[in-house]
């Protein structure tokens, strides 16, 4: 990356501290007042903006945390997973686009990430600090990937089933999906339609997607969903339970060579 980018990224990181992070509309202001106007003017996107597709209605930005974490957000005002707009016909499949946007991680790293290293996460209302829908694109926890691989025989392609033993002391539901991409697969709509009780309280649901290569070389994904439990303040966070922003999976437990000086953006 160019030195000018580093300087701008560090400046932006400094401005997103203290009171700024208390603003639950901080992500929306970045997208609406910085990323989209620059794209409309055909100007170079300022940090932390990474990509804007005005026709499809989404944008990506580098998150301030994690060596390889990006966020994908709608360019329309959508608060989060609880928004009825996400279940309306014609609303973009933001998870599918988040998967396609994983090339941003490849570019920042300087080489492609293994398919199985990538995960997506969307937090529920009570486990987020921002009220603009944002999907975290980052590395999966290595231990979770190992567990899902070991439990492959238990993963149903037709229904949501409890993850045997739970994960990090939280109850999770899982579903197998085969395919190279998430085109035609909408995890939010699937959860709302098929996970018992979810439709009545979508704001309490955390959703994640973990990329997998199943036995026989079949590419696919594990869709994951969890519920926020008012008696357990650590529950519900799809991001925390599923993702490792240090990307230890890429280095056998060691910190990635990409440094924090190369990161900028807001956080959940």
Q: What is residue 251's predicted lDDT score, i.e. its pLDDT?
A: 86
Q: What is residue 22's predicted lDDT score, i.e. its pLDDT?
A: 73
Of the two residues 139 and 22, the one the predictor is more confident about is: 139
Percent of the chain having pLDDT more than 90?
Answer: 82
- pTM over 0.85, yes/no: yes
Q: Tell me: pLDDT of 71 over 80.
A: yes
Residues 188, 86: contact at Cβ < 8 Å?
yes
**Whole-number average pLDDT of the chain:** 88
Which residue has tokens 């999770």?
172
Quick count: other Cβ atoms within 10 Å of Cβ 9?
21
Determine how β-strand 58-62 pairs with β-strand 70-74.
antiparallel
Of the two residues 46 and 6, the one the predictor is more confident about is: 46
**Domain coordinates of the chain in residue numbers?**
62-258
Check residue 232 and report its DSSP letter: B
- pLDDT tens for 107-156 read 999 999 999 999 999 999 999 999 999 999 999 999 999 999 999 999 99
Q: What is the mean pLDDT of residues 180-195?
A: 97
Three-state DSSP class for 249? helix
Band of residue 21 on the pLDDT scale cut at 50, 70, 90:
low
Band of residue 268 on the pLDDT scale cut at 50, 70, 90:
low
Structure tokens at 24: 């639950």
Q: Tell me: pLDDT of 238 over 80.
A: yes
Q: What is the mean pLDDT of residues 211-233?
A: 95
From residue 259, alpha-carbon distances to 17, 108, 247 in Å are 19, 10, 12
Band of residue 253 on the pLDDT scale cut at 50, 70, 90:
low
Structure tokens at 60: 């990506």
Q: What is the mean pLDDT of residues 222-250?
A: 94
| Secondary-structure class of domain 62-258 per CATH | alpha beta
Q: What is the mean pLDDT of residues 237-261?
A: 75
Percent of the chain having pLDDT more than 70?
Answer: 86
Q: Tell me: pLDDT of 174 over 80.
A: yes
Q: What is residue 266's predicted lDDT score, i.e. its pLDDT?
A: 42
Q: What is the mean pLDDT of residues 194-214?
A: 96
Q: Tell me: pLDDT of 10 over 90.
A: no
């Amino acid at each position: 990356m160019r030195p000018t980018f580093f300087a701008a990224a560090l400046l932006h990181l400094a401005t997103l501290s203290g009171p700024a992070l208390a603003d639950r509309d901080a992500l929306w202001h970045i997208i609406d007042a910085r990323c989209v106007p620059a794209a409309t003017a055909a100007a170079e996107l300022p940090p932390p903006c990474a990509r804007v597709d005005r026709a499809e209605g989404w944008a990506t930005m580098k998150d301030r945390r994690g060596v390889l974490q990006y966020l994908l957000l709608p360019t329309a005002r959508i608060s989060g997973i609880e928004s009825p707009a996400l279940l309306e016909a014609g609303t973009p499949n933001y998870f599918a686009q988040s998967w396609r946007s994983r090339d941003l991680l490849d570019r920042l790293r300087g080489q492609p990430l293994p398919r199985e290293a990538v995960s997506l996460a969307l937090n529920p209302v009570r486990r987020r600090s921002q009220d603009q829908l944002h999907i975290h694109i980052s590395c999966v926890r290595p231990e979770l990937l190992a567990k899902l691989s070991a439990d492959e025989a238990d993963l149903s392609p037709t229904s949501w089933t409890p993850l045997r033993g739970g994960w990090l002391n939280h109850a999770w539901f899982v579903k197998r999906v085969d395919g190279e991409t998430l085109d035609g697969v909408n995890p939010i709509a699937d959860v709302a339609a098929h996970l018992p009780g979810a439709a009545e309280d979508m704001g309490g649901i955390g959703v994640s997607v973990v990329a997998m290569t199943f036995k026989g070389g079949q590419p696919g994904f594990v869709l994951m969903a969890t519920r926020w439990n008012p008696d357990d303040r650590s529950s519900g966070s799809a991001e925390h339970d599923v993702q490792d922003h240090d990307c230890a999976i890429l280095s056998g437990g060691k910190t990635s060579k990409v440094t924090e000086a190369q990161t900028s953006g807001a956080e959940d």
